[in-house]
Amino acid sequence: MSKPNPMEPVKLFFSIFAKETTLLNDTIEILSSAYGQPDFISEEMLFDYTDYYSVEMGHSLVRRYLSMEELIRPENLPDIKLATNEIENKTALNLQRQVNIDPGYISKAHLILATGKAYTHRPYLRDGIYADLTLVYQGKKFCPLPWTYPDYADEKQLLMLDKIRSRYLLQLKMQQQL
């Protein structure tokens, strides 16, 4: 018989893209107010892996990733996704999103994104939110899966995510020493 153990806290992570740098920075401020200070904010980059969002949000989208200093309980992810959906709705113009916020978390074993879209590899969490297993950590690196979005499978992003994971592991170690 397996005995349930509490899950370790995880590293809260966001991918944000928008039409303009100002919208990105404003969103980072809103998320910082809600979830504490970021301990990592990526450089601004083009979001050009897909045109899926172009009808709603336009072309030439810009993106930033951030991770938050404070670790969270993984079971809080649905609440965070619902809150980011609300931020997207509040900043929308004529029912068109101006910013897209994808929350997730990094653990020792994987990167999970929260989504409202069901699919075979996305277990249901609650309140209409699913967990998207985006990357697994094997062989001392993050590894994409057959369904991983191309931007998360990009080598530059994988290296960035590994640095965030290293920071997370250090935080866990420091917590255990307390």
What is the tens place of the pLDDT at every residue in 60-119? Answer: 899 999 999 999 999 999 999 999 999 999 998 888 899 999 999 999 999 999 999 999
10-177: CATH number: 3.30.70
Q: Residue 48 pLDDT more than 90?
A: no
Which stretch of DSSP H or E encloses residue 158? helix 155-177
Nearest to 11 by CA among 167, 141, 173: 167
On the CB side of 51, CA atoms within 13 Å amount to 2
Structure tokens at 9: 């806290």
For position 94, what pLDDT does the model report? 87
For position 117, what pLDDT does the model report? 95
Q: Residue 43 pLDDT more than 80?
A: yes
